[in-house]
Amino acid sequence: MFSQSLTRPLFKSFTAPVSPFGFTGIFARGYKVRSAVKKFCSECYIVRRKGKVFVLCKANKKHKQRQG
């Protein structure tokens, strides 16, 4: 009925090679948005910027929080 050129796409979709370890992109850890922020360790410190309260930590980046 239909020729193969009409049923198949002209170009194959280009996909990036997948690593066996999962996603290997550039990681940028965002903020946890919470109504009440608190320090998790002794390295955490509180900063106020643009009317918002942030908790930042140099020891563990998972501790980053933003009050919202």
C-alpha dihedral sign at 51, 55, 58, 61 = negative
Average pLDDT of the chain to the nearest whole number:
83
Q: Token pair for residue 2?
A: 């239909």
Question: Looking up tokens 């290997």, which residue turns up?
Answer: 24
Q: At 6, is the pLDDT very low, low, confident or very high (cuts 50, 70, 90)?
A: low
pTM of the full structure = 0.58
Over residues 29-45, the pLDDT tens digits come to: 799 999 999 999 999 99
- Whether residue 8 is predicted with pLDDT greater than 90 in this model: the reply is no
- What is the distance between the alpha carbons of residues 68 and 64, in angstroms, rounded to a whole number? 13
